[in-house]
Amino acid sequence: MPATPSAQSLASFIDHTKLTFAPGEDEEQAIKDLCQEAKTHGFAAVCVRPRHVKLCTELLTGTTVQVATVIGFPQTKVQKDDEDSNPTLGSTPTTEKVAEIQQTLADGATELDVVLNVGLFKSELTDPELSQTKAELEALHQAVGSVPIKLIIETTLLTPDQIRRITQLAAKTGMTMVKTCTGMVAGPAVQGAIVPDVLGIRAALSELEKFGTEPSKVQIKASGGIKTVEKAQHLIDAGASRIGTSSGVELVSNF
């Protein structure tokens, strides 16, 4: 388990994220600012929409900052109540996800955050093998080659047992990280990344290890609603090795 970071090392946990824009916001300038902040503070990565990968690659070549992008990611916020009854997150067809992966890799992406097809996963919970979900994850893993892939499972829509099952499938199909949330689910009860979910992911990985599987390389990314140093520290103490947040500068400045 990673140790609680010092003021100097907190930045190395952070994926500095810019996925939404205010009406009329200059996207190009916002992405340039994001990359400059990442270089200044030594963040692990920037995380951006596929359309911004080329620019980030140009700006960050020669630095240690990784260029992460999102695949099958919602364009706008969705409501938790709607997603609970009819999940749409990650429902982009596998072929389109693969094509998006191939394009972003060509543009220079060095990490990929891919959204789980939550509806598909939930529809086959009676299948011990989760066959269709497994097939998609295997196709995604094949498409990325050796590039790190983070599976966004959207914990806010899952039960603890569902978190356990999808975490273990992610490990078995070669995912590099299990990521908690997109940050795009809205609702009065939505908390985003929380410690119990990170602990549940950790426990699921540990359970696999007991039975001979080797999930030791699978890491955890906590993302969604992380706006304070205290919350970031609690999530890291729980086992997160990456923190996805749009508040990275505020976190390292207020340590």
- Specify whether the CB–CB gap between 94 and 100 falls below 8 A: no
Q: What is the pTM of this model?
A: 0.95
Helix segments in the chain, DSSP class H: 27-41, 53-60, 80-85, 94-107, 118-123, 131-144, 160-172, 195-210, 229-238, 248-253
Domain ranges, ordered by start, for the chain: 10-253
Q: What is the pLDDT of residues 201-224, one digit of tens each?
A: 999 999 987 666 565 589 999 999
Among all residues, which ones are annotated catalytic? 113, 179, 221
> Per-residue confidence at 120, pLDDT binned at 50, 70, 90?
very high
pLDDT digits (tens, 9 = 90+) for 74-85: 999 999 999 999
Tell me the per-residue pLDDT of 165-214, one tens digit each, with 9 for 90 and over: 999 999 999 999 999 999 999 999 899 999 999 999 999 999 987 666 56
Given a contact cutoff of 8 angstroms between Cβ atoms, the answer to whether 226 and 218 are in contact is no
Other CB atoms within 10 Å distance of the CB of residue 79: 12
The pLDDT assigned to 58 comes to 98
Q: Which CATH architecture has domain 10-253?
A: Alpha-Beta Barrel (3.20)
Determine the residue type at 84: D
